[in-house]
Structure 1
């Protein structure tokens, strides 16, 4: 181990660009993980979403397009198009204390919506990481 540390300055000097690339990648990975801790909503796997729905009776909002929603969605999901999503709506304010899980086709739109819910004061906000694509990849059922 001490021999590796002895040759480290020489390696860094000879492979400056490689070391800088490693440092940049580490910075990106660490900043991504830290931002995940402070975003206010929790990421779920398909199995975690199933548990949340079954144990906590979570409200599941699907932000997919109407066409994608009609092609298949998670049982019990409520369809709310992105253009009609309003965290301040009276229907959502009624369930502010309940767990709310967001999903969409790929997970991108629903992540933005989850952040909007947190900003509006919702405390129990969840997001299906990978969206319905991850749900289907896990071979979980969808309804039409």
Structure 2
């Protein structure tokens, strides 16, 4: 007990830094789907696949029937996908970081079922799933 009292500041620092490391992991960063869940939605024909990478990345390889709207242009090109507001929208990027941002933008714009592909196209390739050029 004396040790804890003598080192209260060190103990507080350890707890604070540990909390700072764990906090980002506990935050919910939008709805995510695994490659398996995305494949099921795609095969059922119930989803729009929105690729938010730049045109170069999209032309290098993308999911079949996906629509390319780069993240920087998303807010100005929302009218192109308005008809999908009530359907599933799977947002894809290279690693999943940009798609999370895009998912948040779409949710704020009124899209009801928006999902980010966990791990992005990199995860899709790792699973050996098909892409087209």
TM-score over 0.5 for the pair: yes
Paired residues of 2:69 and 2:77 also in contact (CA < 8 A): no
Higher relative helix content: 1
Q: 2:100 aligns with which of 98, 104, 111?
A: 111
Q: Distance in 2 between matches of 1:54 and 1:117?
A: 23
Of structures 1 and 2, the larger Rg is shown by 1
Task: Note the alpha carbon deviations across 1:23-77, whole angstroms, 9 max, x for none.
Answer: 53345425532x30xx5x3111111111122235200000111111111111121
TM normalised by structure 1 equals: 0.75
Q: Distance in 2 between matches of 1:138 and 1:21?
A: 39
Unaligned runs of 5+ in 2: none
- The reply to whether residue 98 of structure 1 matches residue 87 of structure 2 is yes
Unaligned runs of 5+ in 1: 1-8
Paired residues of 1:12 and 1:19 also in contact (CA < 8 A): no
Deviation at 1:100, TM superposition (A): 0.6
Q: CA-atom RMSD, angstroms? A: 2.6
Task: Note the alpha carbon deviations across 1:94-119, whole angstroms, 9 max, x for none.
Answer: 21100111011121211111000111
- The reply to whether residue 128 of structure 1 matches residue 121 of structure 2 is no
Q: 1:78 aligns with which of 27, 46, 67?
A: 67
Q: Distance in 1 between matches of 2:2 and 2:65?
A: 60
- The reply to whether residue 29 of structure 1 matches residue 18 of structure 2 is no
